[in-house]
Amino acid sequence: MHYAQISIELVLGFIALFVITKILGKTQITQITTFDFISALVLGELVGNAIFDDKVGVVRIIYAVVIWGLLIFILEMITQKWSSTRGLLEGRPTIIIHKGKILKESLKKSKLDVNQLQHLVRSKGVFSIRELEYAVLETDGTVSILKKAPYETPSKKDLQVILEQVNLPITFISDGKVIKDNLIEAGFNMTWLEQQLKQHNIFRVEEVMFAEWLEGSGLHVQSF
């Protein structure tokens, strides 16, 4: 009975966390602020501790998760309705490099040192701070950069290259299964797809690991 109770609590706790996370949005997973991180930890702890506490029943687990999720949801509504509260509750981006110069006070305020700054900058593909005109520390702990003009990658417009229309690749087959919605959205059907596969000497969809369509480039197929 003890294992059955744990199993039930785990399943219900999992469902409750999943529902709360879907309601609260993707900030609980990515682009996470300090408060989002704390709230995610607390949600996990509420369920984790309750599961192995015999005195805590399923109802209390659901109740605790719902109340905590409701508090976070209310807070999100407040920040959306009153923009003046966002700085206090979510934090503000901080400029840490201004016109090529590192702002020492901003680093100190953000609890960063030069080595950590270099790490953040390298994660953006820049290996020398001298290349940067501006750098902004975002509320989720990442850094956004703007390079100095000589170090910026030239665009096609700068090079006066003839511009072509950009198309989004569409996955038709993944792990041997056809994604029919994508196929129909692209204006094709199974008959067309099977004919395309035969041109690659593939006669069964199950033999295909991945198939992707790109307008102007055709179908790219990779078999198992």
Asked: is 170-223 a CATH 3.30.240.20 domain? The reply is: yes
Nearest to 93 by CA among 153, 30, 155, 136: 136
| Interatomic CA distance for residues 22 and 14, integer angstroms | 12
Domain range summary for the chain, segments of one domain joined by +:
2-87, 94-151, 170-223
Residues of the chain predicted below pLDDT 50: 1, 26-30
- Domain covering 94-151 in this structure, CATH number: 3.30.240.20
Question: For 22-47, how does the pLDDT look when each residue is reduced to its tens digit (9 = 90+)?
Answer: 665 544 444 555 566 666 677 667 66
**Full-model pTM:** 0.55
Question: For 88-110, how does the pLDDT look when each residue is reduced to its tens digit (9 = 90+)?
Answer: 666 678 899 999 999 989 888 88
